[in-house]
């Protein structure tokens, strides 16, 4: 194997190119520690250095990213792609993380539902749409199943009441407009507005 160029990148990294046009991204520290330079190098030795360095970097970046807060598979994949890792590398680390439950979309969705229901005061529909942005639309069936299990229509009615109280809205037309804009179901809106004159929805 012959290295024909080492191109400096930002943040302490360089791209190494061989005579076949293959490119390898490594930190300048790894390049220096292993005396990698332009010219001939044993391919097996170089690839061993490269893969070990990539695995170590992947583990460090992943650990830092998921320790801050719960992340979905989609979020982690997008993050690692931005960091220059390919789909095969990401697939490998995701498999290990899922096996050890460090990344778990089921748990992520449940926690998201709880937060958007109890803290954000969002409708079931709006909650579902926000979750799908985080986990991907291919998880739609799982998302809907977990919403059915963890956010009932009766709970949505209670959330709508709390939201109205928080916004201090009393006019029927304004209540209807606000709840509709937040994605609350027609059933919830009608239940709220039909009792608004007597303030029964605060009971």
Q: What is the pLDDT of residues 6-62, one digit of tens each?
A: 999 988 999 999 999 999 999 999 999 999 999 999 999 999 999 999 999 999 999
Candidates 94, 97, 130, 96; CA nearest to 113 is 130
Give the pTM.
Answer: 0.80
Q: What is the pLDDT of residues 83-95, one digit of tens each?
A: 889 999 999 999 9
Task: Indicate the average pLDDT of the chain.
Answer: 92
* Encoded tokens for 142: 């799982």
Domain boundaries, the chain: 1-41, 58-103, 105-202
Neighbouring CB atoms inside 10 A of 54's CB total: 18
Cα–Cα distance, 122 to 141 (Å, whole number): 20
Cα–Cα distance, 35 to 138 (Å, whole number): 46
């Amino acid at each position: 194997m012959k290295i024909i160029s080492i191109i400096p990148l930002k943040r302490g990294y360089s791209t190494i190119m061989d005579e076949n046009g293959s490119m390898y991204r490594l930190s300048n520290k790894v390049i220096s520690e292993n005396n990698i330079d332009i010219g001939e190098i044993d391919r097996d030795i170089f690839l061993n250095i490269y893969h070990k360095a990539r695995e170590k970097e992947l583990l460090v970046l992943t650990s830092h990213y998921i320790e801050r807060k719960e992340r979905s598979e989609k979020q982690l994949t997008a993050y690692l792609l931005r960091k220059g890792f390919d789909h095969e590398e990401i697939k490998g680390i995701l498999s290990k993380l899922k096996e050890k439950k460090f990344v778990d979309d089921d748990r992520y969705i449940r926690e998201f539902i709880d937060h958007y229901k109890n803290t954000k005061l969002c409708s079931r529909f709006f909650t579902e749409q926000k979750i799908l942005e985080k986990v991907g639309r291919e998880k739609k069936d799982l998302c809907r199943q977990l919403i059915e299990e963890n956010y009932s229509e009766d709970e949505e009615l209670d959330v709508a009441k709390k939201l109205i109280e928080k916004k201090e809205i009393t006019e029927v037309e304004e209540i209807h407009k606000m709840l509709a804009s937040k994605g609350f179901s027609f059933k919830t809106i009608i239940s709220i507005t039909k009792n608004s004159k007597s303030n029964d929805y605060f009971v």
